[in-house]
Chain A
Amino acid sequence: MATEEAVAAHGTTAGPTAGEYITHHLTHFNGTGHAQASIVDFQVLNLDTLFFSLGLGLLTVLVLAFAARRATSGVPGRFQAAVEILVEMVSEQAKGIIHDARSRQFVAPLALTVFIWIFLMNAMDLLPVDLLPRIWELIYGAAGGDARHAYSRVVPTADLNATLGMSIGVLLICLWYNVKIKGFGGWVHELFTAPFGKHWALAPVNFAMQMIEFAAKTISHGMRLFGNMYAGELVFMLIALMGGAWVAGSGATGPLLWLGHILAGTAWAIFHILIIVLQAFIFMMLTLVYIGQAHESH
């Protein structure tokens, strides 16, 4: 089915090969019309990631703001109760990890936003892999563009820029609280004395360990979410390819492949419901844990 759509979209006689299909789906729409050539290029902006990330972020805060505006201390409706469950859950976690009540005033709402926002971005994975890209191809084609260059990736958390962006945001908050709680001097002192102890010979080792720790935390934080979502997205594409193989004409195995698409797609989507919630929760918890560590003196 997916390949069929892709064939129609491209409007060419020959459909894309499996490799082309995957490549097309893994290429960002960045305004340059082609995939980014170098690994790091700060001239390029992934418009698709930004669009869905911003859109879902706005959706998150607006829905939350709507709930907050109508929040009463009386008998809550179902919607309010649902938001309250989330708020209570995040609030409890924050209380358990961060013992500074003033920090919690910022960190707890941050964790709530992060949780719901990442959940929504992850949930984009559950939409049919070709639905939004196909619509975008139609719009792009109608606007006079070449539909072959109408790239779009709808899962912002399957873009390393998004996840690493958020984890770097968390890193910045950690640095801020390190300075705020321990004072700049105290923090610098800690950088050279922890974790091995205060000795002039150990200072470089301590500093190196601290730098490695910050880097490892931040990169693993972003990479974990990215890896999970990227892999999930890729599996959805492969499942779509399997169903599409029927149309590509593979004889009697076609219907079986199509059936396999349905079975595997269902199974993977159901399993993925767990993944998207779990990854959002893990990201939120690690955010709290890292910020909590920034509050602790060694």
Chain B
Amino acid sequence: MNLNLTLLAQIVVFFILAWFTMKFVWPPVVKALDERAKKVADGLAAAERGKQDLELATKRSADALRAGKEKSAEVLGQAEKRAAQIIEEAKAEARVEADRVIASAKVEIEQESLRAKEGLRDQVAALAVAGAEKILRREIDAKAHAQLLSAIQQDL
């Protein structure tokens, strides 16, 4: 443990190294550390904000869902009502139509039966005349009795 010039050299080296670290090492590292701390703080704040946003959005989407459900139920109800109404209308229409068809069918039947009666009367008259003819073959002169015959025919 002798003292010599190394002592002074070490003092000089000590100061040079300290100066170098102060100048070139400490500031960038501390700057990086501070910046990272700020980034982390910002990140945490952003995460907090994001959480709040998410909560808000969840609430909003739940509201929207509920509104949509209500709306759809309402629409469904309206549609059902409308369908029932349409069916009722159709039923009524059908009933009217049916009545109409039945009425016209009845008229037609009336006419047809009238026509049939007419035909039948003609045939019966003809038959009666023919029968009378056969009975009265000789006595009856078609020409002389034509007027009478047609009168009979009319009565039948």
Residues on A close to B: CB < 8 A? Answer: 30, 35-36, 38-46, 49-50, 53-54, 57, 60-61, 64-65, 67-69, 71-74, 76, 80, 83-84, 87-88, 91, 105-106, 108-110, 112-114, 117, 159-162, 164-166, 168-169, 172, 226, 230
CB-nearest residue of chain A to B2: A36
Within 8 A of A (CB), among B60-84: none
Within 8 A of A (CB), among B1-59: 1-11, 13-18, 20-22, 24-36, 38-39
Pick from B1, B26, B30, B38: contact of A226, CB under 8 Å: B1
How many Å from the CB of A29 to the closest CB on chain B?
Answer: 11
The reply to whether B10 and A161 form a contact with Cβ atoms under 8 Å apart is yes
The residues of B that contact A117 with a CB separation of less than 8 Å are 17
30 pairs, A vs B, C-beta closer than 8 Å? A39-B2, A40-B3, A41-B3, A44-B5, A45-B6, A49-B6, A49-B10, A50-B6, A50-B9, A54-B13, A57-B16, A61-B20, A68-B26, A73-B31, A74-B39, A76-B32, A76-B36, A87-B30, A105-B22, A112-B26, A113-B17, A160-B2, A160-B3, A161-B3, A161-B4, A162-B6, A164-B7, A165-B14, A166-B10, A169-B18
Which 9 pairs from chain A and chain B are nearest by CB? Answer: A165-B10, A73-B35, A161-B6, A109-B26, A71-B32, A44-B4, A109-B22, A169-B14, A110-B18
How many Å from the CB of B31 to the closest CB on chain A?
Answer: 8
The reply to whether B17 and A43 form a contact with Cβ atoms under 8 Å apart is no
With A165-B9, A166-B10 already in contact, the answer to whether A108 and B26 are too (CB < 8 A) is yes
The residues of A that contact B30 with a CB separation of less than 8 Å are 87, 91
The reply to whether A42 and B5 form a contact with Cβ atoms under 8 Å apart is yes
In the assembly, what is the distance between CA of A44 and CA of B39, in Å? Answer: 54
How many Å from the CB of B23 to the closest CB on chain A?
Answer: 8
- A contacts with B: majority SS: helix
CB-nearest residue of chain A to B24: A65
Taking residues whose C-beta sits less than 8 angstroms from the other chain, chain B's interface range is: 35 or more
The residues of A that contact B35 with a CB separation of less than 8 Å are 73
The residues of A that contact B33 with a CB separation of less than 8 Å are 73, 84, 87-88
The reply to whether B36 and A169 form a contact with Cβ atoms under 8 Å apart is no
The reply to whether B3 and A164 form a contact with Cβ atoms under 8 Å apart is yes
In the assembly, what is the distance between CA of A88 and CA of B11, in Å? Answer: 26
With A53-B13, A105-B22, A106-B18 already in contact, the answer to whether A87 and B4 are too (CB < 8 A) is no
The reply to whether A73 and B18 form a contact with Cβ atoms under 8 Å apart is no
The residues of A that contact B4 with a CB separation of less than 8 Å are 30, 36, 40-46, 161
With A53-B13, A68-B29 already in contact, the answer to whether A73 and B36 are too (CB < 8 A) is yes
The residues of B that contact A110 with a CB separation of less than 8 Å are 18, 21-22
CB-nearest residue of chain A to B35: A73
The reply to whether A172 and B21 form a contact with Cβ atoms under 8 Å apart is no
The residues of B that contact A36 with a CB separation of less than 8 Å are 2, 4
